[in-house]
Chain A
Amino acid sequence: MRPEKEGLSVLSGQINKQKKKPVLQRIKQNRIAYVFLLPTLLAMLFLHIFPIMQGIYMSFLELNQFTLSQYLLAPFVGLDNFYKVLIDVNSPIRIGLFEAVRNTVIYTLLVTVGTLGVGMVVALMLNRKFFGRSLVRTLFLFPWIIPTYVTGLLWGIMWLKEGGLINVMLVDWLHLLPFKPSWLTGANTIWAIIIPTIWRYWPLSMLMLLAGLQTIPEELYEAADIDGAGPWRKFWMITWPMLQPVWFILILFGLISNTYSFNIVIMMFGFGAGFPGEWGDLMMTNIFRNSFQLWNFGTGAAASVLLLIVMVAIVNVWFRLYKQAEEVR
């Protein structure tokens, strides 16, 4: 490369110059990066890629307690497992599958909205100057430290019909309801799993949103004050757009982690072994039961593959929507 040319291309930037180098040279130059990545690469190859490939392959196999020992040589049945999950009404895995899907959708949407809503309100309340602010913030984080299996167990007892704290509060103390409703059976069950999940996860949203709020420069609000904007207008014109990146991440992780929620539901019903009922069952508990209690690994794998496909689609749509929203801004 001629030196005078290089001097001219300063403005066009370092990146451009790097891209012109051949791949091999760039690999050589960054040798140390590959050394640093090697352990992780190996671990991911053996414990991520390898099992996932097998999982996808297993979804085409007749894999149950009888063929378990044949491993990957179990009888190949093609798309039969997918047929059983999606179409065949009489297959055992179909029992309760529709309810599980419906519950998972309701649960994921409401929990994501709930955690973000409560988190936002509390973050705004904490984003003021007052005495004891950091203590209050720490105390608000408490539910988030409780392990999820303890959350399930604890709320399972709190929802009890006669002696549970919820019914004692609602009926005996506040007289809001004339009778003690049963929370752990019937359609109420869905609330019995949504509310504890929101209770457990909102502090994390609050923490992230609070951190986001603190990065907004004070001058923006001062300028808005001079222009005579009220609190609502300030929220919608400054706070809301500035927080969008945080919302994006929180909704993304909320959608993923709530769809794959397991611990709270499994610990709340039948104390860890029973069927959560048709309004309490989620996808993960459903597939888990099919795989590890009914020993239908093939259909379990097929259902997981379908779940993964749906998840990839949702995440892609969410990314697209966010990109579009950013361009509009």
Chain B
Amino acid sequence: MPYYLRKRLTDLSINIVMLVFLFVTLMPIGWMLFSSVKNSTDIAIGRIGLSRNIEGHTEIHWENYVDLWKNVNFGLYLRNSVVICGTTVVIAMTLSTLAAYALSRFKFPGSDLFSNAILATQMIPALMYLIPLYIMFIKFTMLTGLPVKGTFWGLILIYSAFFTPFSIWILRGFFAAIPVELEEAAKIDGCNQFQVFWNVALPLAIPGIIATGIYLFLNAWDELMFAWVLTNADTMTIPVGIRLFVGNYQNRFDLMMAAATVATIPVCIIFFLLQRYIVQGLTAGAVKG
């Protein structure tokens, strides 16, 4: 067999394997979307395909989504998640941009210690923060009468602190990739050190900041353990709301799948609008780091 023919055959078979695997990978997601517009019995007995009514016509149960909205206070959860995750991203990115710039540009007493401390925080189990913080919050409220557990600010503060080290770690790679010569030129032109950061380094690091910010948002959106313990009925985020709802409607599989879909849609939208940044940004940071 000639060389080019053999190469084409190999390529073709790899493509086929890849497409089959792609189909298998996406199947659970397709099943989730599909099940969210079926009726619960059809899911429970494992009838694949759309539900049919008594006359045998297929029907799409869009009313699952209406039911979901009526039974669960989904609008509230959505708002809480957006407020908490959005504020977290703003605070954490401000902190980590400043810190990452300082770490990538200056070699000062304590910089190595700080870099190591950042990596070390990643090894600590979340429960080690959660147990003391939970008791601290309760005690603080007992002493001062100010509520902390169950407020937005309690969770936002914790999330910001919790996600900052990892963002510093990714962002440091981006700042390190910016040529120092640009900053030196600005210094010669008479910029002070803050102006150099603000006018030269920051604009160049924007793609990295966006990528890290989105990654952080997705992580905060996904956080269940802290939110479970530290929110109440008014400040519940989506994962906590879904957990509660799923516990109460144990056999309404259709509503569960509708809830799962609604929880996924916002992150999907964000991802596909900004995926160019995420893919470039995360991989650039990781490969260099």
Residues of A within 8 A of B165 (CB): 44, 48
Please tell me if the beta carbons of B102 and A48 are within 8 angstroms of each other in the complex: no
Size band of the interface chain B makes with A: 35 or more
Contact indicator per residue, chain B 1-36, by CB within 8 Å of chain A (1) or not (0): 000000000010011011001100111110110010
Please tell me if the beta carbons of A33 and B111 are within 8 angstroms of each other in the complex: yes
Please tell me if the beta carbons of A142 and B25 are within 8 angstroms of each other in the complex: yes
CA distance A245 to B101 in the complex (A): 24
In this assembly, does B123 line the interface, its C-beta being within 8 Å of a C-beta of chain A?
A: yes
Please tell me if the beta carbons of A26 and B287 are within 8 angstroms of each other in the complex: no
In this assembly, does B144 line the interface, its C-beta being within 8 Å of a C-beta of chain A?
A: no
Residues of B within 8 A of A215 (CB): 287
From 275 to 289 in chain B, residues with beta carbon under 8 angstroms from any chain A beta carbon are 275, 279, 282-284, 286-287, 289
Q: How far is the CB of B214 from chain A (nearest CB, A)?
A: 11
Please tell me if the beta carbons of B257 and A43 are within 8 angstroms of each other in the complex: no
Please tell me if the beta carbons of B123 and A312 are within 8 angstroms of each other in the complex: yes
CA distance A260 to B95 in the complex (A): 25
Residues of B within 8 A of A130 (CB): 11, 15
From 129 to 174 in chain A, residues with beta carbon under 8 angstroms from any chain B beta carbon are 130, 136-143, 145-150, 153-155, 157-158, 160, 162-165, 167-168, 172
Please tell me if the beta carbons of B247 and A273 are within 8 angstroms of each other in the complex: yes
From 286 to 329 in chain A, residues with beta carbon under 8 angstroms from any chain B beta carbon are 287-288, 291-292, 297, 300-301, 304-305, 307-308, 311-312, 315
Could you say which of A34-42, A93-101, A184-192, A218-226 contacts chain B? A34-42
In this assembly, does A193 line the interface, its C-beta being within 8 Å of a C-beta of chain B?
A: no
Residues of A within 8 A of B117 (CB): 44
CA distance A51 to B218 in the complex (A): 25
Please tell me if the beta carbons of B275 and A51 are within 8 angstroms of each other in the complex: no
Residues of A within 8 A of B259 (CB): 153
CA distance A41 to B115 in the complex (A): 12
Contact indicator per residue, chain B 44-57, by CB within 8 Å of chain A (1) or not (0): 11111000000000
CA distance A256 to B158 in the complex (A): 20
Please tell me if the beta carbons of B128 and A43 are within 8 angstroms of each other in the complex: no
Contact of A212 with B18 at beta-carbon distance under 8 Å, contacts A147-B221, A157-B253 already known: no
Please tell me if the beta carbons of A271 and B135 are within 8 angstroms of each other in the complex: no
Instruction: Please list 24 pairs of residues, one from A and one from B, whose beta carbons are closer than 8 Å in the complex, sorted by A's number.
Output: A27-B109, A34-B102, A36-B98, A39-B94, A48-B129, A122-B18, A128-B14, A141-B275, A142-B29, A147-B263, A157-B43, A158-B28, A163-B45, A165-B28, A199-B25, A208-B282, A211-B287, A249-B286, A256-B122, A262-B225, A271-B247, A272-B246, A301-B131, A304-B131
10 nearest interchain CB pairs? A211-B283, A47-B161, A163-B46, A30-B108, A36-B102, A33-B106, A272-B243, A54-B132, A33-B102, A40-B99
Using CB atoms and an 8 Å cutoff, list the residues of chain B in contact with chain A.
11, 14-15, 17-18, 21-22, 25-29, 31-32, 35, 43-48, 94-96, 98-99, 101-103, 105-109, 111, 114, 117, 121-136, 138-139, 142, 157-158, 160-162, 164-165, 168, 193-194, 197, 218, 221-222, 224-225, 228-229, 239, 242-244, 246-247, 250, 253, 256-257, 259-260, 263-264, 267-268, 271-272, 275, 279, 282-284, 286-287, 289
Using CB atoms and an 8 Å cutoff, list the residues of chain A in contact with chain B.
18, 23, 26-27, 29-30, 32-34, 36-37, 39-41, 43-44, 46-48, 51-52, 54-55, 58, 63, 68-69, 71, 122, 125-126, 128, 130, 136-143, 145-150, 153-155, 157-158, 160, 162-165, 167-168, 172, 199, 207-208, 210-212, 215, 245-246, 249, 253, 256, 260, 262-263, 266-267, 270-273, 284, 287-288, 291-292, 297, 300-301, 304-305, 307-308, 311-312, 315
